[in-house]
Structure 1
Amino acid sequence: MSTPLADDGAPDQRLHPWSWLFVLLMQLRQFLLPLVALVVFGGRGDSDEEEMWSNLAALVVIVVLVAVSILQYLTFHYRIGRDAISVRSGVISRNRREIPFARIHNVVVHQNPLHRLFGVAELRLESAGGNRPEAEMRVLKLDQALALEQLVRQRGQQQVASGDTTAVQTPDVPAEDVLLQLGTADVVRVGLLSNRGWVVVLAAIGASYQLFPRGAVDDAIEHGGRQAFGYASSLHPATWVWVVAALVMVIGFWALLRVFSVAVALLRYHGFRLTEHERRLTVASGLLTRMRTSVARRRIQAWTLRETALQRWFNRRHLRIDIAAGVSTDGERRDLRELAPLATPEACNTLVQHLLPQLQWPPAQWRPVPLRGWWRLCLPALVIVPLLAAGAVWEVGPWGALVLAWLPWSALRAHRTMAHMGWHLDARYVAVRGGWWQRWWRFAELDKLQALRLGRSPLDRWLGTSSVWLDTAGASGSIALCLRYLPEAEARAVFEQLNAALGERRLRW
């Protein structure tokens, strides 16, 4: 029989006494819509007896949820050993899980406003892969959560203080090096230079369709539009008045989006602080809900720099990383992703050079992609836009041909995008760049590559080009690590060089 990793001599510990309340609130949030529907629609019966039964059913559901929450608190125990954490949980089916410290890739300390009111925090221990955390502790005292985070950071070297059966002694927190810190003005700038306001608009539209009866929103918008247009028409304004009114509406909507975007940025990035200690990075941020997440530097798989046209005009960029960690069941990323929500190019480059001192970033020279196939990037527009223009002419007459004005812009964007594309490869890392209106740079160390693929489409065969696709663990986002549209001979040479590097790594293993 194997010996458990957690020390059997260590005392079992419970969650915070109010833990059941937070579990109950989480469950009520999941069952909120069914309960509301049961109370509201179930109470619309023809008799008082039907209304009574619907209210009774809702009360029974709430009582059951309360009982389950209390049972979960009473049956959840954890034990901190020298090398691992042991977690025992389950109401009907009892489970015991041994989590070695070395297996934990990410530690998340989460505090929403209610957590902060009670002085508690939710702790999640996460590993690479999988779609659930290794352990979720709802909830611990804040000092316990921070102490456990520190223990994981030190990979189990700290010992639980002897004689304490109720809490983990908080070790002396070592000084951390601050790599990046954003003040309020910086966070406001993040909001002004991003498009996060659309999140609020789309969420409001989705909520309105969920809360109101089907068709009510469309009818209200149509009715309001007709009234506004009818009132404006009755004033018999000149053409220039219509133009000015349209511009005012566009500018007003854009300003409203900026306000929403700043609000979202403040909620998410207020107090943003990136620190480092013993080759482990930690990010803490949030206005109402505070989130503290950390990851070892060796877990970083790939790096991505991005800048929109607006950010480029204000000399700002965005730095993200890929981590070998899983995704939650609802598709939400749980791990540390953003190292710099917004910073100057020099600050981003300095941060990369600090964390990857063995690399030369940015590369001294980028190898360009041949321009002769630039038109392939605007092929979708060449097919779709004429069809849309034909439909518009059919519906509104000759003015519909204005849709064709998109073609020159599409051609210009395709040509400039191909001109900006480039790649770099040396003995340590591979990097690609692309985009024009919105530019990006993506790179990874050769030791972090997981798979290679040499791809050729029918169009590639006609133009004599190939693309080399590279895969890393934890890859996310819309930007692929791919050397596109290289001449076939050059692509094969790159593929062989990268394949040889992967072979050398397997031999070292």
Structure 2
Amino acid sequence: MNEISAAPPAEQRLHRWSWLFVLLQQLRQFILPLIVLVFAGRRSGPGGDFAEWAPLVGVGVLVVVSVLQYFTYRYRVGSDGITIRSGLLQRSQREIPFARIHNVGVHQSLLHRAFNVAEVRLESAGGQKPEAQMRVLGLDEALALERLVRHRGTATAPADGSDGAATARTDDESHTLLAMSTAEIVRLGLVSNRGMIVFAAAFGLLWQLFPDERLIARLAEDSFRQAAGYADDLHLGWLGIASAAMLVVSVFVFLLRLLSVALALAQYHGFRLSETQRRLTVERGLFARIRTSVAPRRIQAWFLQETLLHRWFGRRSLRIDTATGGPENDPRKLRELAPIATPDACDALAAHLLPGATWPPPQWRPLPRRAWWRLFAGSVPWNLLLAAVLAWQLGAWALLVLLWLPWSAYAAWRQAGRIGYAVDARLVAVRGGWWSRWWRFAEVDKLQALRLQRSPLDRWLGTASLWLDTAGAGAMSPPLRIRFLPEHEARALYAQLGRTLAARRLKW
């Protein structure tokens, strides 16, 4: 603790190589105009020589700006926050209180690791941009700043309304909550669809490079004809052709899974979730190392997922919504507490971080089983529309699409048997899904709003849906809502949660 409480220097600069990383960041933004100048400037006549030298002049200006930013950027760590001064002609000074810093991110790319430096981001709740972005600090200085912000922030903004000084005296040891082995990361790659995402991105890039859809269609048609001609020369027959098609599909799926495993190894190698000073810290990455942390009190909601592939491996994934700002798809944002783990490990992790709450709930309250037809009815119009469009193009054979309706009805019946909810004084939870199962839950204190919704069909059937809003909800996670409840049950639950929230806010 003596090292942490020692007074830091009055003002500190960035790392001596920070200008290089600022330059590279600026070049990434201006690379396209510079390339245009290089190729457009190669012409004869008046002004041609200047056009050829213009890109070099632009790069020189960026170098000067980067060096000036290094010499003019200063930061000072005080007792209550961080002061940042920057600018030469237009000077600015920012005061960032420790209580406002909700997340400290330390990022290292391959170039960062070669120079033993790191980029530090200080983020607050609700902001789309970080409060401060330091490019770059020495790795030791970055980690020391992260520790100092964590300790000062804990003392300034204690959790659960406890005394700040008492909180700051907690043990400084790092406790590992979850560490992923290489075998677990391989399982993560096998159950994920990251390879398909890369394939879709590559297809989109190909479409942009060759906007003439007829060219791509001709390539696909020629490839199909060549394959059909080769199969005809071999006299494979329909059984052989079907086997060859299945083999091609199997090879394609295998390559996609192999790509998914490679991407998972690159992103999650060395994954470690630890707890220090009432903060959660995640470190991961093979080439680019990412270290990000968040206080458990900033967790707004939880999302537990178990797809069919997860069940085959006996695994689940645990994600969280936090109150920190920034885009949802930012890879530096702490979203995954357990990218893949056993069900017992996920439950134990949630129970550890939800003191006083009971997880998993001892009993789930199911919805009326007759609600299955409400789930089934939503898919019927789309199925009929698809069948009509295909029948118009392909004829009567397209009506085979209607065979999906019995399966859809069966899936809705099974899903209705799994939908349920659990509410107690500390936690509200909803579960759903059948083929792909999920659990969504949040502390009652973290609910931002309650909404009772009734559609015309609900009013006719005497049912209602209860929507529970939390901060930081991700678009990829199912909403926290309880659907198709009998109206009296929905209103009673709405009143119960409203009274609980009102009582908790009066205590604050």
- If the length of structure 1 is used for normalisation, what is the TM-score? 0.90
Match of 1:322 in 2: 321
Match of 2:471 in 1: 473
The percentage of aligned residue pairs carrying the same residue is 59
Matched, 1:84 2:81: yes
Change (3 A) 1:52 1:383: farther
Match of 1:421 in 2: 419
The 1-side partners of 2:24 and 2:271 are apart by 28
Task: Note the 1:214-253 alignment, pairs <5 A.
Answer: 215=213, 217=216, 219-253=218-252
Aligned residue identity for 2:77: I
The 1-side partners of 2:383 and 2:284 are apart by 44
Aligned residue identity for 1:292: R
Gaps of 5+ in 2: 1-5, 156-170
Aligned residue identity for 2:312: W
Task: Note the 1:343-354 alignment, pairs <5 A.
Answer: 343-354=341-352
SS of the residue 1:31 aligns to: helix
SS of the residue 2:140 aligns to: helix
SS of the residue 1:122 aligns to: strand
Contact 2:272/2:284 (8 A) holds in 1: yes
CA-CA distance at 1:506 after TM superposition: 2.2
Aligned residue identity for 1:69: S
Change (3 A) 1:278 1:252: same
Match of 2:10 in 1: 11
Contact 1:283/1:292 (8 A) holds in 2: yes
Describe the superposition over 1:138-197 as per-residue Cα deviations: whole angstroms up to 9, x where unpaired.
000000000000001111689xxxxxxxxxxxxxx9431111001111111110121111
CA-CA distance at 1:382 after TM superposition: 1.0
Match of 2:139 in 1: 142
CA-CA distance at 1:220 after TM superposition: 4.0
Task: Note the 1:120-139 alignment, pairs <5 A.
Answer: 120-139=117-136
- If the length of structure 2 is used for normalisation, what is the TM-score? 0.90
Match of 2:428 in 1: 430
Describe the superposition over 1:394-415 as per-residue Cα deviations: whole angstroms up to 9, x where unpaired.
3223321221121112111111
Describe the superposition over 1:341-394 as per-residue Cα deviations: whole angstroms up to 9, x where unpaired.
000001111111111231111111100011212122133421122222222223
Q: Structure 1 stretch 233-242 or stretch 133-142: which is displaced more?
A: 233-242
Matched, 1:107 2:90: no
Contact 1:303/1:319 (8 A) holds in 2: yes
Q: Structure 1 stretch 411-420 or stretch 492-501: which is displaced more?
A: 411-420
Match of 1:458 in 2: 456
SS of the residue 2:79 aligns to: coil
The 2-side partners of 1:436 and 1:371 are apart by 14
Change (3 A) 1:54 1:263: farther
Aligned residue identity for 1:441: W
Contact 2:449/2:469 (8 A) holds in 1: yes
Contact 2:74/2:85 (8 A) holds in 1: yes
Change (3 A) 1:12 1:221: farther
Contact 2:445/2:504 (8 A) holds in 1: yes
SS of the residue 2:146 aligns to: helix
Gaps of 5+ in 1: 1-6, 159-172
The 1-side partners of 2:445 and 2:418 are apart by 27
The 1-side partners of 2:48 and 2:122 are apart by 45
CA-CA distance at 1:208 after TM superposition: 2.7
Change (3 A) 1:174 1:508: closer
CA-CA distance at 1:9 after TM superposition: 9.4
Match of 2:167 in 1: none
Higher-helix-fraction structure: 2
The 1-side partners of 2:491 and 2:74 are apart by 56
CA-CA distance at 1:198 after TM superposition: 1.1
Contact 2:428/2:442 (8 A) holds in 1: yes
The 1-side partners of 2:313 and 2:494 are apart by 38
Match of 1:166 in 2: none
The 2-side partners of 1:131 and 1:183 are apart by 34
Change (3 A) 1:99 1:400: same
Report the RMSD for the aligned CA atoms in angstroms: 2.3
The 1-side partners of 2:353 and 2:329 are apart by 29
Aligned residue identity for 2:443: E
The 1-side partners of 2:204 and 2:430 are apart by 37
Aligned residue identity for 1:153: R
